[in-house]
Amino acid sequence: MTGYIIRRILWFVPTLLAVSLVSFAIIQLPPGDYLTVLEAQMGAEGDYNPEVVARLRERFGFDQPFIVQYGKWMWAMLAHGDLGYSFEWRVPVSSLIGEYLALTVVVTAATLIATWVIALPIGIYSAVRPYSLFDYIATIIGFVGKATPNFLLALILMWWAYDTFGADVSGLFSPEYANAPWSWAKVKDLVSHMWLPLIVLGTSGAASLIRQMRANVLDELQKPYVEAARAQGLPEWRVILRYPVRVALNPFLSTIGGSIPELFSGAVTTAIVLNLPMAGPMLLRALVSQDMYLAGSFIFILSVFTLIGTLISDILLTLVDPRIRFEEA
Amino acid sequence: MRNPRIRKFSSIATPIGLAFALLSAPVLSFEQAPILVELVEAGSLPDVDERLPKVPRVITPYNEIGTYGGTWRRAFKGASDDRGPQKLMEPRIVRFVQTGPEQFDIEPAWASSYESNETSTEFTFHIREGLKWSDGHLVTTEDVLFYFEDVLGDDNPWPWPALMTQGDTRAVITAVDDLTFTVSFAEPSPLFIARLGREYVWMASPKHYLSQFHPKYASADELAAAAASFEVGGWEDLWGRRGKAQSFWLNPDVPTLSPWTVTVPPPAEQVIFERNPYYYAVDTDGNQLPYIDQISHDLFQDAETLNLWVAQGRIDLQQRHIGVGNFPFLKENEAAGDYEVVIWNGLEVDTLWPNQTTSDTVMAELFQQADFREALNIAIDRETVNDIVFAGLATPMQAGPPKGSAIYNEALVGKWAEYDVDRANTLLDGLGLKDRGGDGYRQRPDGKTLEIVITTSLFASDINMLELISEFWTDIGVKTSLDVVERTLYLDRVNANEIMMGHWPMGRAAFFLIDAGSYAATLSDQPWGVAWGEHRLGRGKEFATAPPADHMLHDVWEALDGALTASSQDEAMALGADILEMHAQEPNWVGVVGAAPNLFIRSNRMGNFPSGFIRDDITRDIGIIPTEQLYIKN
């Protein structure tokens, strides 16, 4: 087991290098670069001076070949932990993305936990009492939740909250806390703003989770070992939790790794609509303005999270389901 | 041509400005904001009489004397939206002001006065005596020379702006004494003062602060340390529009001549500006301006978020990013958000630009035919477009400076703007463009289907409008398709002359001579003759070609060169009027609707904000009103 984990971690290095190379190349694929975007802005403002752009092009090293730019970026990251420079915001990437990433992790983790806490019990109950009134209600809510696009749900809820309470529900902080240093009051403000993103981001995830859980448990309930457990005289709740549910959990655990980038990127439209200071909108903005080191760093960090997530789900799988064994290579 | 408001520009350069300033010479005793009184009493700030220049600029409030304090809340869209906040407080030496309905003028701001010689080659500026930077240092001609010789100099990565050069020759700046300097040109520059009200040329930089970041005054080690403390790669990154030391939007420490200075710079979610205690203007009662203590700019990403903020009463005054299409929603929520929608007059015209030199030579030849352009123009029912897309609030018109602009030509904005499908069909038939295949589309001379591809960028366009236009053109047998691309791709295609027809509003109409690219075919947003424009710009593009010998563009360019070097502003204005007349014969483009109202959200607690002004980039958008005299009602 330990050897397996170490080997997996060693594989991170080439994987990350490949991912960073590909993502850096993709960022550079559209025509032009950050300075073309800047030229466009300057043109729109009647402030265009080709000499400024030429000097900046040299200054930022855009006149160098792709592989040189990539090499410099990678080297600075590996040697000094320097993620590069955001051309648009004119600050080092590392000082820009810290808080955005932290808030993204908080919101993502909270969403994931909330989804599980809500969806698993409902899914199990629906499976144990299929075609009951509760099952139908949960199914309807689940399908509606799955079918409604997140951004639309966000807009509707925002409007509803405004119309009913006159409350400002966008963002993660009230204006008076936006720049404030971290304090207990700011944390409370954050929590009071979290419910809307949690509902919006969690609904469709919870909906599919309920359906999957229900189907999995239903399958397992038919199997002879459940029968056997019942015959042994175990209490019903223990039979269900101990055996079918444990087996039914497999598919979820194996998707933890995948659900992290999904929450990151799936949350982009929602985060834009809700004006959340999260990584998604900033990544999108960086891509549109071809702010390549900022965009590249986001994608790189996202890849790290995904790899770690996949590793965690693999480890959890072996713990939950002893039938899964690692083959020695 | 009648040009009612323009004589003003030249008269202002005479001692009138000075006389105005002297009249209001301080017999008054000055008052200041309560938060500054506290600082004065605590001994951390000199008293207001010592902070103000000997003769402050006197600003007459629009409605009433305001009260001090409060925060002006607005929203901004990110790093690239820096002009929005800046336009509220540009540190200009002269400023546009509106003097009446459809009339504007230029006034000295941090200069007490200025004058020009007879031939418009030399301009003399007088700095207000006792004028101070926002940190209390005196402003002198040293700061002016520093700006021109060092900030824009050869040792610095930032080039001279076009306004200060004529061809390869730079203007010569001479300090007469501590407070007087002259700007001399080799050739006349009649529009210099007007352009100074609009171009990004600040005329002075705080030498006592910024020289520590300049290689002429600091050692290599000091420069490296400065770059490190600002977290940038080298000292060059400290300079320029978004330079970490020079930009008054990014650096809280750089002294400015703006009414407010940044205290929480981007990339904060909420950018904050606070009052400059040394600001040089007072109201008519001698109260130091600005009235408002603080401006906060909240970062938003989606237009719908901003709309919701408006409805919730979270915006005190804002026009930027407020779309005219949201007019019904904004009006509905006036009571709920405790605000009013105040209308200013926009001067933009939504326009399609047929590239008469496009690489598809058959289309280029067609676009060059006046009959073809007329057919495209009169096939559009502009009234319908206005009703459907602009809620009937805009004006159906041909593209040209709308009414209210300094130079206006009634014939141009009316030309080919009447809906007449029959005539459009007759014109196309006359050109031999017939539908031979019976598929509803006409054929080009080379037998292919007559198809126009409109390229538009997500940045500016209104897709609904373009779809309506496609339908109108399909009705006369011209197949029309839309290509919606990212803004940089749009410019790439223009710069490679690959665009067939562009879409972008014609703007900067208030005084078009200040930026006449729309009429000279040299603006890449407005590609109606890309190869010709490149010929004029002489940037060495392979496809650049001169227009045919008898083409009107030759006359336009000649008149434009004449206007830019005329010896008086009146002469320049007359040549500007000629240029519009030339374009009024057979317009080179397809203007659709324009002069749409621009909507300001003004909360009911915001005082002294006028309605019915002109909003144009030339006159600096909202900056045409002195924002210093806005106030928050208690």
Of B597, B610, B433, nearest to B64 (Cα)? B610
Chain A contacts in chain B segment 523-542 (CB below 8 A) = 523-525, 539
Strands B614-615 and B339-346: parallel
Q: Do B489 and A92 touch (CB under 8 A)?
A: no
- Is A181 within 8 Å of chain B by CB? no
Residue B268 DSSP label = S
pLDDT < 70 regions, chain B: 1-28, 154-157, 458-461
Contact B269/A173, CB-based, under 8 Å? yes
- Determine the topology of domain B5-294 in CATH: Dipeptide-binding Protein; domain 1 (3.90.76)
Query: Which residue among B79, B301, B508 places its CB closest to the CB of A272?
Result: B301
Would you state the pLDDT for residue B19? 43
Q: Kindly determine whether residue B233 and residue A178, on different chains, have CB atoms separated by under 8 Å.
A: no
- Between positions 541 and 570 of B, the ones with CB within 8 A of A are none
Q: Would you call A233 an interface residue with chain B, using a CB distance cutoff of 8 Å?
A: no
- Whether B224 has its CB under 8 Å from any CB of chain A: the answer is no
Instruction: Nearest chain B residue to A160 by CA: give it.
Output: B308
ipTM over 0.85: no
Query: Which residues of chain A does B237 touch, with a Cβ-Cβ cutoff of 8 Å?
Result: 59, 90
B268 lies within 8 A of chain A by CB: yes
Name the stretches of chain A with pLDDT < 70. 44-46, 166-168, 257-258, 263-266, 325-329
The whole-model pTM stands at: 0.86
B349-594 CATH: 3.10.105.10
The answer to whether the beta carbons of residues B449 and B479 sit under 8 Å apart is yes
Helix (H) or strand (E) holding B123: strand B122-127
Of A49, A91, A170, the CB nearest to B308: A170
Q: Is B157 on the interface with A (CB under 8 A)?
A: yes
CA distance B243 to chain A (A): 8
Task: Identify all chain A residues contacting B538, using CB atoms and an 8 Å cutoff.
Answer: none
Q: Which pLDDT does position A317 carry in this prediction? A: 80
- Quote the pLDDT of residue B572: 93
| Nearest Cα to Cα of residue A302 among A287, A318, A320 | A287
Using one digit for the tens of pLDDT, what is the confidence trace for A245-262? 888 888 777 777 667 777
Can you read off the two tokens belonging to residue B271?
């950018």
Q: Within 13 Å, how many C-alpha atoms sit on residue B17's CB side?
A: 29
A254 CA: distance to closest CA in chain B (Å): 34
Q: Quick one: CA dihedral B470, B474, B476, B477, positive or negative?
A: positive
Q: Which residues contact B325 (CB under 8 A, 6 or more apart)?
A: B389, B390, B391, B462
Q: Enter the tokens of residue B346.
A: 């926009």
Whole-Å CA distances, A198 to A154, A162, A259, B273, B455: 10, 17, 15, 34, 40
> Does residue A47 sit at the B interface (CB-CB below 8 Å)?
yes
Closest chain B C-alpha to A60 CA, distance in angstroms: 9
Asked if B269 lies within 8 A of A288 by C-beta distance, the reply is: no
- Distance CA(A251)–CA(A232), nearest Å, equals 28
* Distances B258 to B96, B143, B231, B273 between C-alpha atoms, Å: 15, 16, 26, 10
Residue A260 Cα, gap to closest chain B Cα (Å): 23
B-chain residues within 8 Å CB-CB of A158?
308
Which of B206, B303, B292, B370 shows the shortest CA–CA distance to B603?
Answer: B292
Residue appearing with tokens 């007559």: B450
The number of angstroms, rounded, from the C-alpha of A108 to the middle of its chain's C-alpha atoms is 6
CATH class of the domain at A99-219+247-320: mainly alpha
Q: How many CB atoms lie within 10 A of CB A140?
A: 10
* Token pair 């983790």 in the structure block, residue: A109
- Give the three-state DSSP class for B181: strand
How many whole angstroms separate alpha carbon B198 and alpha carbon B478? Answer: 41
Nearest one of B113, B104, B131, B105 to B258, comparing CA atoms = B131
Tokens of B202: 């600040």
Closest CA to A212 of A259, A174, A156, A170: A259
Q: Tell me the CB-side half-sphere exposure of residue A36, using CA atoms within 13 A.
A: 20
Q: Judge residue B279's burial from the number of C-beta atoms within 10 Å of its C-beta, 0-12 exposed, 13-18 middle, 19 or more buried.
A: buried
Mutate to test the interface with A, among B76, B151, B302 (most CBs of A within 10 A): B302
Query: What one-character DSSP code corresponds to residue B447?
Result: S
Phi and psi at B266, nearest 5°, equal -60, 160
Q: Residue B282 pairs with which residues in a beta bridge?
A: B58, B288
pLDDT at B463: 82
3-state secondary structure chain A: CHHHHHHHHHHHHHHHHHHHHHHHHHHHCCCCCHHHHHHHHHHHCCCCCHHHHHHHHHHHCCCCCHHHHHHHHHHHHHHHCCCCEECCCCEEHHHHHHHHHHHHHHHHHHHHHHHHHHHHHHHHHHHHCCCCHHHHHHHHHHHHHHHCCHHHHHHHHHHHHHHHHCCCCCCCCCHHHCCCCCCHHHHHHHHHHHHHHHHHHHHHHHHHHHHHHHHHHHHHHCCHHHHHHHHCCCCHHHHHHHCHHHHHCHHHHHCHHHHHHHHHHHHHHHHHHCCCCCHHHHHHHHHHCCCHHHHHHHHHHHHHHHHHHHHHHHHHHHHHCCCCCCCCC
Across the interface, whether the CB atoms of B492 and A32 are under 8 A apart is answered yes
Q: Say how many CA atoms lie within 13 Å of B174 toward its Cβ.
A: 8
What kind and span of H or E run contains B367?
A: helix B361-368
Residue B101 in tokens: 């309905």
Distance CA(A292)–CA(A296), nearest Å, equals: 6
CA angle, A181 then A182 then A188, to 5°: 130
β partners of residue B284: none
Domain ranges for chain B: 5-294, 349-594
Residues of chain A found within 8 Å of residue B162, distances taken between Cβ atoms = 49
Check CB contact under 8 Å for A43 and B524: yes
Residues 6+ apart with CB under 8 A from A82: A76, A92, A94
Q: What's the pLDDT score for residue A72?
A: 87
Q: Which residue type occupies B232?
A: V
Whether B161 and A41 lie within 8 Å, measured CB to CB: no
By Cβ distance, the residue of A44, A55, A89 closest to B525 is A44
Element (H, E) at B455: strand B451-457
Ramachandran area for residue A57 (φ above 0: left; ψ -120 to 50: alpha; else beta): alpha
**Is the preceding omega at residue B505 within 30 degrees of 0, hence cis?**
no
Shortest CA distance from B299: residue in chain A? A275
